[in-house]
Amino acid sequence: MRNTKVFQLIPLIALSACGNMKEGNNASYMASKNVSVVASPVADTTAFSTDAVEKITSPDRKIIKTADFNCRVTDVYKASTALENKVKALGGIVQESNTTNDFGEVKTLNYKPDSLKQVKLYKTTCSLVLRVPVTMLDSVTNMIPQLSSFVDSRNLKQSDVTLAYLSNEMKNNVGAGEAGKAYKYAKRSKDVLDVNEHIEHKQDEKINRHFENLRLDEAANYATVSIIFNQPEKADVQIVVNPEYFTKNDFGARFISAIEVGWDGITSVFLLVCGIWPLLILLMAGLWIYRILVRKKILLGLHSNKIVMDK
């Protein structure tokens, strides 16, 4: 009887073992399936939200547009004023407008006894930085060549910042509600302080990313146009006062000044003579000796001639 019961239990044991093996195979199969799903590219794309994927594939991407011009115009003031008015009418703003004159050679010529003609060569340059609604950028870039007589350089640039914008958004959405969990596991006061410091640091990063996205929004909605207007060299002619004419004294003052100059010369000569009187005495003595020697020579010559004649 006992053997009969044992033989009856054998099929039950076999069925149980087969069931365990089947469950183990199913578990290993599901684990491998989960790993493959995580490792597959499809799993990576599903990690992004539908909104993020739509923003990446949307034609309305975050694109920053800039334009740079360097142009020669006939009149810098007229061209810059016309362009500024056009930008304001289109809803843009003039961020910077700077006009300077670079002066070159300056010449001064006689014009009248009391005036001079002053000629200055100068070159006027105007630098503009404009913020234009991106939908009106073509209107502004088409207007600039019309105001110019010659376009030295033209540079249009587009920068796609959609991925950077999405990256900031996704980073700000990650970790929401983690502060409560962190406080739950903080056991000591030092741990709480560390959690506070960590949360403040993360909040600062989120705020910075938020403002960075605001900056990208503004840059994408308003294109930046930089222009340099310059004109050919021109001459600025002015009639200015001749300072020498108005600072000159009248005849009486000049006559008195001439007498004073003459008297100063005489006194200078007199003082010079007084200062070199020893030299004058030596000079006079030398002349006296020279005259004596000359006389003796003449007398000797006459005496010699007389002796010859007597012979």
Looking at the domain assignment, is residue 303 inside a domain? Answer: no
pLDDT of residue 273: 78
Pairing between β-strand 222-230 and β-strand 63-72 as defined by DSSP bridges = parallel
Regions of the chain short of the pLDDT cut 50: 1-47
How far apart (Å, rounded) are the C-alpha atoms in residues 43 and 37?
6
Q: Report the number of distinct structural domains present in the chain.
A: 1
Q: Which domain holds residue 121?
A: 61-238
Helices (H) and strands (E) in the chain, counts: 11, 6
pLDDT at 183: 55
Residue 181 lies in a domain: yes
Q: How far apart are CA 227 and CA 231, in angstroms?
A: 13
In 10 A of CB 245, how many CB atoms? 12
134 in a structural domain: yes
Please report whether residue 26 resides in a domain.
no
pLDDT attached to residue 228: 96
pLDDT attached to residue 59 = 57
Q: Is residue 284 part of a domain?
A: no
Per-residue pLDDT, 28: 38
User: Rounded to 5 degrees, what are φ and ψ at 234?
Assistant: -125, 170
Identify whether 260 is part of a domain: no
* Stretch (H or E) spanning 236: strand 234-241
Residue 157 lies in a domain: yes
pLDDT at 54: 61
pLDDT of residue 3: 44
State the pTM of this model. 0.55
Q: Does residue 229 lie within any of the structural domains?
A: yes
Please report the pLDDT score of residue 88 as a whole number: 93
Question: What phi, psi does 26 have (nearest 5°)?
Answer: -65, -40
